[in-house]
Amino acid sequence: MRFSLSMFVTILVALSVFAGTAPLSQGQAANSSANASGSEAAAKSTVEASSRSLPDWSGLWTINFGAGPTAPRAAEEPVLTPKWAAELKTLREAEAKNDEPPTESANCLPPGMPMIMFQPYDIEFLFTPGRVTIIQEAYMQVRRVFTDGRGHPADLDPTFNGHSIGHWEGDTLVIDTAGLGHTTPLGFDRLQHGPRLHVVERIRLTAPDTLEDRMTLTDPDALEQPWHMVRTFTRHRDLDMMEYICEENNRNPIDHTGHVSTILRK
């Protein structure tokens, strides 16, 4: 048989492909397997080391009220913008006339950040790779704090609890929350915050069973300068979180105008 140049080239190409796909030798297979096992072990070691370095926040935490060493510190008064100061004056004048302003919570809407952290109900922290999850018994709310290095999205949808990213500074969890576009309580009197509220939290253990949350609130619509709040929580290792359904047995009265009162029916 006579071979043309094109047939000779085709045979060479086929032989080179066959050689490239030949089975690995025992030594090559062993090296490949060892490299894969080494990578998996390194990843597992990194996760385990990260888990070992995190503080123990297990159990349920309840906010501290009243007197005693774990009671809230003297509240810092916020410096309000003129518009918000005028709104506060109006609210207090209405209260003086016993005309209670309506609140969204009477309609079972959650208070959103920052007040969801200060409800008289349990909270729980779950640590998983790249995320800290904060579960509130109140209104069955969940906050997801991303600790994987991501930033806030460029175009945030307004939500009650916002978008949270965080990182660890030693044993302190630093949380940055933005996207708080809903009208929810600011945390002072009955005032609501503005659409540009930004919250930074520094959460850490100050004693084996005491957790501290230091908040800095920045709101160009409501506040002339950053406002600082500090709250503490006590750990309960023997408690379990209960289901919270606001709509069940909701006894807030509604008048003919649709006004919802926070005074419960007897």
Query: Which of 76-90, 116-130, 205-219, 223-237 comes out lowest in average pLDDT?
Result: 76-90
| pTM: predicted TM-score of the whole model, two decimal places | 0.73
CA 163 to chain CA mean position, Å: 7
Number of H helices, E strands in the chain: 3, 9
Query: Which of 1-10, 58-67, 133-142, 207-216 comes out lowest in average pLDDT?
Result: 1-10
Question: Residue range 225-231: average pLDDT?
Answer: 94
> 104: phi > 0 → left, psi -120 to 50 → alpha, else beta; which?
alpha
| Of 247 and 14, the one with more pLDDT | 247
Whether the per-residue pLDDT at 250 is higher than 70: the answer is no
> 189: phi > 0 → left, psi -120 to 50 → alpha, else beta; which?
left
Q: Confidence band (pLDDT; 50, 70, 90) for 228?
A: very high
Nearest alpha carbon to residue 145 among 172, 169, 126, 123: 126
Domain residue spans in the chain? 5-53, 60-236
Pairing of strands 198-207, 131-136: unpaired
pLDDT, averaged across the chain: 79
Whether the per-residue pLDDT at 81 is higher than 80: the answer is yes
| Of 58 and 8, the one with more pLDDT | 58
Res 257: pLDDT: 73
Which residues is 145 bridged to in the sheet?
132, 164
Question: Residue range 124-135: average pLDDT?
Answer: 96
CA 11 to chain CA mean position, Å: 63
**Percent of the chain at pLDDT above 90?**
45
Q: Confidence band (pLDDT; 50, 70, 90) for 134?
A: very high
Both tokens of residue 259?
Answer: 């006004």
